[in-house]
Structure 1
Amino acid sequence: MKRTLEGKVALVTGGGRGIGAGIALRLAQDGADVALTYLRNAEQSAAVVKEIQSLGRRALAVQADSADPAAVQGAVDRTATILGRLDILVNNAAVFLVGAVDELSRDDVEQTIAVNVRGPYVAAQAAARHLSDGGRIISIGSNVGERAVFPGLALYSMSKTALAGLTRGLARELGPRGITVNLVNPGPTDTDANPADGPNAATIAGFTALGRFARPADIAATVAHLAAPEAGYVTGAVVNVDGGFTS
């Protein structure tokens, strides 16, 4: 049986670790060749590339700072050039800076907006020039974009909420080409940056209806569905994969 993404090429920003790595691997399992970007951890990203290649897919790791528009555009263009095309963009790279509104610095604000808002916009702008008709743009938001349960989340929540507007605007603009644009909001997810056994994990899990953290594979499954041909009539949507955090 043909895999749903056979012959497709995907780029996952921040795909060298955590949720991004889970997404990159799932897209490869479904048949896509996958490029990923990373900022610092070349060794970890190389391990993800090797795992993708073990599935019989082509893979590419590109060092790119998502705060740098030229680097973001370069990663998109390099993916399309080396892997021959681009069908799926997953905007996953993000920074998570937490602090009281009167304590965060101007640099904190600039970095958050540069990576979490401008980065996805620039990536989508660059990808739109390469995406074939019927392509996919999927951004990874956050449950706190809809429900900020702790103090200190205003900056991060604002940056993730901006992705909803980007998603709806791009869905309308790119719809005539059959390109769908959607937003996935993960809830608390077990990663090295946010472990399910961390100091505040029990409290955070308690805010979900299911009482537990997600696995990266749980988020990746929804991304894979939105990337597949079967989801061709889903666009401009915000999908919460949060264990009932926002219910």
Structure 2
Amino acid sequence: MLGSTCLLLLLLTRDVSSRHVAIVTGGTRGIGRGISESLARDGFDLLCTYNTNAEAAAAAAEELRTTHGVRVECVGGDIAQGCELGAVVHNAGQYVGITSDNADGLTAGMLGFGDGSMLSADGGSTNLATMRYYQRLYGDAYIDLMERGLRRMGTSGGSLIGISSPGCSTQYNANLGYDMPGSGKCVMEYAMRLFALRCAGRSVNCNVVIPGVTVTDAWGRLAATRGASKDDLIEGIAGRLSPMGSMTPRQLGDAVAFLCSPRGRLITGVSLPVDGGVHLKS
């Protein structure tokens, strides 16, 4: 899990004056892997963070190096300094107790605002542990990464990106059942707009990207809790919510790479749906 004092800045041992580095949290699988692929294609060296599966992360890094000829490092904790940073993408996330283990030992539970599920049996106290975990994962970690990353960006500017979800802003209807993670991503989306205002004079753009129904392994773990198959769950949700159907991590990655390029630099301060039209129906 990402803590509030999280993951930054790789000490590269070779000259990086001619190329930039991108940090992608959760950058070795799922949506993060698609983002890493697109940034590597555009010439970024990569620092990819992962949660617990070091072997899978190492394999992903080697594929990225071989395919794109870039420097790729994978880490799971705090790191040092020394490169000119071009982009920071906070993508890491999970469904607590379903898609990954967590350091707090929290288990899955259907918690929501206003349905009584956060109250003790006698109604005398509230259990906010899961909500606070998501606030740290999406809100605190985003702000920590962006603040520290911004200090490493040179005079040529850079990009600060967060990955959110449908239902966390007023562009979408509220996503019932996504209360806990959504509350953390709301912090991210609001903080992003403040970063955008304050960083504009430094040629740094700040945005949040909102994916649609993206085909990743996480759907399989979620489907298992519902007695369904991954493909059936994706097909059902995409058929109901996405006019253009499901999307791949690489398609999402291409949009992120555009925002991180000089061509996308004037796009700043927006929560951008890259969702195949989900925002039109939800």
Q: TM-score range by the shorter chain?
A: 0.7 to 0.9
- The answer to whether structure 1 residue 58 and structure 2 residue 81 are counterparts is no
- 1:242 is matched with 275
Identity of aligned residues (%): 29
User: In 1, are the aligned partners of 2:215 and 2:248 still within 8 Å (CA)?
Assistant: yes
Residues 161, 234 of structure 1: CA spacing in aligned structure 2 closer, same or farther, 3 A cutoff?
same
- 1:156 is matched with 181
Does the residue aligned with 1:240 lie in a helix, a strand or coil?
strand
Aligned partners of 2:160, 2:235: CA distance in 1, in Å? 33
Post-superposition offset of 1:7: 1.4
User: In 2, are the aligned partners of 1:138 and 1:182 still within 8 Å (CA)?
Assistant: yes
Aligned partners of 1:230, 1:37: CA distance in 2, in Å? 27
Post-superposition offset of 1:145: 1.6
Per-residue deviation, residues 186-215 of structure 1 (Å, max 9, x unmatched): 011100002593453233112334252110
- 1:103 is matched with 117
User: In 1, are the aligned partners of 2:212 and 2:242 still within 8 Å (CA)?
Assistant: no
Question: What 5-or-longer segments of structure 2 have no aligned partner?
Answer: 1-17, 97-108, 119-126, 221-228
Aligned partners of 1:211, 1:178: CA distance in 2, in Å? 34
Aligned partners of 2:188, 2:196: CA distance in 1, in Å? 12
Q: 1:22 aligns with which of 31, 34, 37?
A: 34
Aligned partners of 1:112, 1:124: CA distance in 2, in Å? 17
- The answer to whether structure 1 residue 140 and structure 2 residue 171 are counterparts is no
Aligned partners of 2:131, 2:19: CA distance in 1, in Å? 40
User: In 2, are the aligned partners of 1:25 and 1:51 still within 8 Å (CA)?
Assistant: no
- The answer to whether structure 1 residue 113 and structure 2 residue 135 are counterparts is yes
User: In 1, are the aligned partners of 2:139 and 2:184 still within 8 Å (CA)?
Assistant: yes
Does the residue aligned with 1:194 lie in a helix, a strand or coil?
helix
Does the residue aligned with 2:73 lie in a helix, a strand or coil?
strand
Does the residue aligned with 1:145 lie in a helix, a strand or coil?
coil
Aligned partners of 1:42, 1:240: CA distance in 2, in Å? 31
Does the residue aligned with 1:34 lie in a helix, a strand or coil?
strand
- The answer to whether structure 1 residue 210 and structure 2 residue 210 are counterparts is no
Aligned partners of 1:185, 1:166: CA distance in 2, in Å? 15
TM-score scaled by length of structure 2: 0.75
- The answer to whether structure 1 residue 219 and structure 2 residue 252 are counterparts is yes
Q: Which has the higher contact order (CA 8 A, sep 6+)?
A: 2
Larger Rg: 2
Give the RMSD, CA atoms, in angstroms.
Answer: 2.0
Greater mean alpha carbon deviation, residues 34-43 or residues 203-212: 203-212
- 1:88 is matched with 87
Per-residue deviation, residues 155-194 of structure 1 (Å, max 9, x unmatched): 2222222222111100011111111101100011100002
TM-score scaled by length of structure 1: 0.85
Count of residue correspondences = 228
Q: 1:122 aligns with which of 138, 144, 148?
A: 144
- 1:24-39 correspondence to structure 2 within 5 Å: 24-39=36-51
Residues 34, 62 of structure 1: CA spacing in aligned structure 2 closer, same or farther, 3 A cutoff?
same
User: In 2, are the aligned partners of 1:139 and 1:184 still within 8 Å (CA)?
Assistant: yes
Post-superposition offset of 1:143: 1.4
Question: What 5-or-longer segments of structure 1 have no aligned partner?
Answer: 1-5, 65-73
Residues 17, 209 of structure 1: CA spacing in aligned structure 2 closer, same or farther, 3 A cutoff?
closer
Aligned partners of 1:115, 1:243: CA distance in 2, in Å? 26
User: In 2, are the aligned partners of 1:100 and 1:151 still within 8 Å (CA)?
Assistant: no
Q: 2:21 aligns with which of 9, 28, 37?
A: 9
